[in-house]
Structure 1
Amino acid sequence: MKPSKQFNSEHTSANPAAPADWFHHPIGQMVCQEEQTLYDDWVSNLFGYHALQVGAMPLDLLRNSRIQHCFRSNAAQPDVLCDSAFLPFQQHSLDLLLLPHVLEFSPLPQQTLREAERVLVPEGHVILTLFNPISPWGLRRMMGCGRSTIPDLWSAQFFAMPRIRDWLALLGFEVLQTRMLCHAWPIHSQKMAQRLSWLAPLGLKCWPVAGGVYAILARKRVVGMHIIKPGWQSLRVAKKLATTPNKKQISHRVKQK
């Protein structure tokens, strides 16, 4: 696992809750809208007993889940407060874990994925959403545009999808689905964003891999684990134990009747 650069932001270190601020900007609202639709679709097909949403995203991404016990951490109304890199849960205790934009703002993104592997049950699922560096969003971050407007967003780490897939594979995860979101240009002005809204469907059609956000659905696989099936198999009786009735036995039974 190639180590990531240490996340360092003076603004974020002074205000630990700062990464949640950018969700209230027009760009953040667009991200929230598209990701809510994605999570509503994906979580509806996942089952289990316990699910956890981690991160500062002010949305209930588990609202469409069929899992009975759903919890949120570090959200607007958290059920539990915890660090994503050190989750206060026992090993193999969660069936579903949501990490929306957690790795970008975490000083220990690899440790966060290790914790995901630890707390998930075998065949459990994790859903991640991250910003795509190979997109207009990544280009804007590289050029340093908008750092004074939304410093939390553009100071975050942008990880390419192949890198995250590699980390997941090393931890024993199998990637089931991926999807690109947010093909609109990251413009802070709401009026300008409305004028250029036609670029979103064009981008989805012409350069689908250049979405500003990508999502990954992965399943935890355990090497050597197999499903134990019921042992309803017919057993062959040894020839010495198997007896075939002869004519005398049959006639004797008939006389008794």
Structure 2
Amino acid sequence: MATISLSCIIVDDEPMAMNLVEGYVKKTPFLELKKKCSSAVEALDYVNHHKVDLLFLDIQMPDLTGMELSRMLPKNSKVIFTTAFDEYALEGFKVSALDYLLKPFDYAEFLSAVNKALDYFVNRKKDDSQLIETNEKEFIFVKSEYKQVKIKLSEVLYFEGLKDYVKIWLKGLERPILTLMSLKSLQEELPKKDFLRVHRSYIVALNNIDVVERSQILINDLRITVSEQYKPQFLEYIQKNSLGR
């Protein structure tokens, strides 16, 4: 059973061919038809402004051919070619088409092609999930005093921004590690589930917050005020992790 839905468009300058594919799409539960386009130019404009997983794409069309369009698509959009000309098959696979349907084709052939597409997107979703898990960082390296220092993120209490520098306060250390970088660039590298910016000058380790009192956070005897800019996101985190009132 399909676990995902694929958004798709039909691109064909022949109304009868378009209507046939539309009928097949509507019979297929995991396909969601977003638009029918009578030209590749119209389709290109649509995919540049909307997310489209799959295009059923004719090849021979005026102004811009389906083959030319396939080379302009976003990398996450995939193609099943639908054409009356078999001489384009090899070229179709060179542009990474998922399948190539030769007109006239029946629903069984159509279903075989879209099942390949479904398998592709299901597997890509699994790969993306595994990549996210793999990319969960346990440590970072920062340059400090001409050395690359390994920082275990589990030992970080908070990061403090100071002009062009960041102070990294760690458990068990009386003095911070000082590194030349901006707090903004550091924030982009940190796991969002573990760290939250609460002030123009502070990113805190959520697991190491001791007390929250109104608009202040207590970490290791330091009081950090949550500024208005970051308060909504911080309050959302507190509400999600609070028991009772």
Q: Give the TM-score, by structure 2 length.
A: 0.34
Q: Which structure's residues are more often strand, by fraction? A: 2
Q: Which has the higher contact order (CA 8 A, sep 6+)?
A: 1
Q: Give the TM-score, by structure 1 length.
A: 0.33
